[in-house]
A and B are shown apart, each in its own frame.
Chain A
């Protein structure tokens, strides 16, 4: 579950005031709205990468407003993916698991499972500099869900993909979110994407979520 209660954020030119939003556990919500209104800022606040000036953020009914990003159990796929240039595909999928000091066997099992689900088993030892757009998206998604987060935040993850790859990713996202039960908040400009994926829709307008 993701819940924002009267959240206020001031960032640069714009500010968001008294934003309230609730995504029930296991649901797939889509947040839409014009460019520059603060959708990414809102996602970064839920991750803990941006501080808020007022209100509360809850994840699975726990107040995480003052928690560090590392403690929130939020999987995040930013628009630019931000893959790690010094790591190959396998290292991306292992990264969060190693931080949690999981056993070698457990890491291997999880990475194999992710590679199969995401269809990237043949790419495991490849440098991220040699991946296509769709492959990069899959790696970023795999990295974000590798540690079984309670919440998944996706910031226009499919905007740079061609139609065929985008349709494949829609299917993959639905499959993953249904099987894992992860609560998802997905930013998009695409009505088609929203129709294909959303259990629930939000729109950011004039500094408010409707």
Chain B
């Protein structure tokens, strides 16, 4: 498939496509939103993965199932659900209106909606990865740390977390890659306004919709190159010395 894409396009077409201001803006927005979504996903995934791995508590199965919902939900349904969540009127109160008027931070059809759409799916994968990571770390060392004077939180921060760094890198890789490939929820929740909410996945769609197949293929190859670069970078970090 990649070879076919490469054969279809030429260096001149590729250059022409990536020099377009709209595509350059989409490239910048993609890098920023994917990175923001990944950081946010890790903030949720690391503690939640630890919680699901180490503790048995009422409602654990419910949380475990909820985490998986964005993975199994059709992408368009996820986007629609986000849109409804932000515009559902509860006794006259609406989340989007409150964010826009009271907080000064409108979300829908703006860049935060892109991040949120990417975050919704990326977090699900990141939590799964972190849970498996903590499952593979023996909890005995944390137990001993608690007898030495650690609270549970200190045992997590000082003993479990430093051991989980390879898992965190794997989790970040998965989250970033998922965010890069996100399309359906972004289209519904953030729209595809050029120079505003357009990311590379929506660029492919926009270029295709106006018959610019060369540009669509060039952008696709750019996305492949970005994904490969990030995967190699993060894997290189993850295969370094352990201490």
Q: How far is the CA of A72 from the CA of B147 in the complex (A)?
A: 8
Given A78-B140, A127-B243, A86 and B147 touching (CB < 8 A)?
no
Given A85-B163, A86-B243, A70 and B141 touching (CB < 8 A)?
no
Instruction: Determine whether the beta carbon of A76 is less than 8 Å from that of B243.
Output: no
Given A49-B143, A82-B144, A70 and B150 touching (CB < 8 A)?
yes
Partner of A82, one of B140, B151, B242, B243: B140
Q: Which residues of B contact A72 (CB under 8 A)?
A: 147
Chain B 145-166 per-residue mask, 1 if CB under 8 angstroms from chain A, else 0: 1111111001000010011000
In the complex, A84 has a CB within 8 A of chain B: yes
Instruction: Determine whether the beta carbon of A47 is less than 8 Å from that of B148.
Output: no
Q: How far is the CA of A141 from the CA of B21 in the complex (A)?
A: 65
Q: How far is the CA of A127 from the CA of B151 in the complex (A)?
A: 25
Q: Shortest distance in angstroms between A154's beta carbon and chain B's nearest beta carbon? A: 12
In the complex, B138 has a CB within 8 A of chain A: yes
In the complex, A138 has a CB within 8 A of chain B: no
Instruction: Determine whether the beta carbon of B147 is less than 8 Å from that of A74.
Output: yes
B interface size (C-beta, 8 A): 18
25 CB < 8 A contacts A-B: A47-B143, A48-B147, A49-B147, A68-B146, A68-B151, A69-B146, A70-B146, A70-B147, A70-B148, A70-B151, A74-B147, A78-B144, A82-B140, A82-B143, A84-B145, A84-B159, A86-B163, A95-B148, A96-B148, A99-B148, A99-B154, A100-B149, A129-B243, A143-B144, A144-B148
Chain A 82-101 per-residue mask, 1 if CB under 8 angstroms from chain B, else 0: 11111010000001100110
In the complex, A38 has a CB within 8 A of chain B: no
List the 4 closest A-B pairs by CB distance, nearest first. A82-B140, A99-B149, A86-B162, A96-B148
Instruction: Determine whether the beta carbon of B154 is less than 8 Å from that of A75.
Output: no
Partner of B159, one of A76, A78, A86, A147: A86
Instruction: Determine whether the beta carbon of B141 is less than 8 Å from that of A82.
Output: yes
| Nearest B-chain residue to A128, judged by Cβ | B243
Q: Which residues of B contact A116 (CB under 8 A)?
A: none
Q: Which residues of A contact B154 (CB under 8 A)?
A: 99
Instruction: Determine whether the beta carbon of B149 is less than 8 Å from that of A47.
Output: no
| Nearest B-chain residue to A140, judged by Cβ | B144
Instruction: Determine whether the beta carbon of B138 is less than 8 Å from that of A96.
Output: no
Q: How far is the CA of A155 from the CA of B232 in the complex (A)?
A: 45
In the complex, A80 has a CB within 8 A of chain B: yes
Q: Which residues of A contact B162 (CB under 8 A)?
A: 86
| Nearest B-chain residue to A70, judged by Cβ | B149
Known: A85-B243, A88-B243. 4 other contacts (CB 8 A): A69-B143, A74-B147, A78-B140, A100-B149
B145, B149, B150, B163 — most chain A CB neighbours (10 Å)? B149
Chain B 162-184 per-residue mask, 1 if CB under 8 angstroms from chain A, else 0: 11000000000000000000000
